[in-house]
Amino acid sequence: MRVLITGATGTIGLAVADALRSRGDQVLALSRDPERAKRVLGADVEVHSWIRPNDESPPPEALASADAVLHLLGEQVAQRWTDDAKARIRDSRVLGTGSLVAALRALPDPDRPRVLVSQSATGFYGQRGDTELDERAPAGDDFLARVVLAWEREALGAEPAMRVACTRTGVVLSPSGGALAKMLPFFKLGLGGPVAGGRQYVPWVHLDDVVGAMLACLDRDALGGPVNVTAPNPVTNSELSRALGHALGRPAVLPVPGLAVKLLYGEMAEMVTTGQRAVPARLLEVGYEFRHRALDPALRDVLGK
């Protein structure tokens, strides 16, 4: 299978590209910086230029040569949400996905890839306390929830011309990027602990299972629409803090007040002080076998312990 990836040089993109190549698939990439992408991805990856995703179509010849598209492109969410940053976060997802989908729909039927797997986020559900959330749960109404809702609507616009799966990914456990990479320096120094009381749920998932879930969405016709990409057993922030401290052999008892997080990150602090108890109902229904179902061994694996 020939799989075209956007956002291929990110943490998830690199991991999926490696997995695809390991099983014998051909990887293609759309990139705003083709020269850098070639250096990072390697000579065996076919790189095409897509300089301005928000306002230009990707090259149709790249799309037409692919059997499937994995769309991971988007502005970093974990930053202070100024007005400009919020516009970049929204536009990179909504406008960029709209440009991609319009180009896919414009292809003749025989040339169109058969599936689009479009990255999404558990932020779709908004602030829901300890309510268990599968893919049938409605959208929230905060900034990130509204962004994700609009993002998915653009992706689902490719139906019925092709199958579309929107992977609502949770907090990815990887030492090379994401939330865990930001937490590690503090916890290694023994300065970590529960945030804002620690009762909020964290929909964690090991990077291995992010990759496995995305490959499943590429391969399995039964996976369409929203797909929660989270471990089956979400935990609270307190439980995550305790498990991370244990894995590192460091104390993890210093509480971090919610006000301090708000002063540091502004509105973006909501991502840390609230959470979603999301569960992967669709993946479990189709028989996906998680490599990392429990948090403690997942953290030990990520940290090489």
pLDDT of residue 268: 80
Q: What is the mean pLDDT of residues 259-267?
A: 74
pLDDT of residue 171: 94
HSE-up (13 A, CA, CB side) for residue 192: 26
CATH (residue range 2-170+206-230+279-285): 3.40.50.720
> Percentage of residues in the chain with pLDDT exceeding 90?
82
Cβ neighbours around 191 below 10 Å, total:
13
pLDDT of residue 153: 98
pTM of the model: 0.95
The better pLDDT of the pair 264, 168 is held by 168
Indicate the angle between helix axes 207-219 and 11-22, nearest 10 degrees. Answer: 60
pLDDT of residue 179: 80
Lowest average pLDDT, out of 15-24, 31-40, 153-162, 185-194, goes to 185-194
Q: What is the mean pLDDT of residues 279-291?
A: 98
pLDDT of residue 154: 98
Distance (Å, whole) CA 239 – CA 198: 8
Q: What are the residue boundaries of the structural domains of the chain, listed by start? A: 2-170+206-230+279-285
Q: What is the dihedral of CA 145, 151, 152, 155, to 10 degrees?
A: 180
* Predicted confidence (pLDDT) at residue 147 exceeds the cutoff of 90: yes
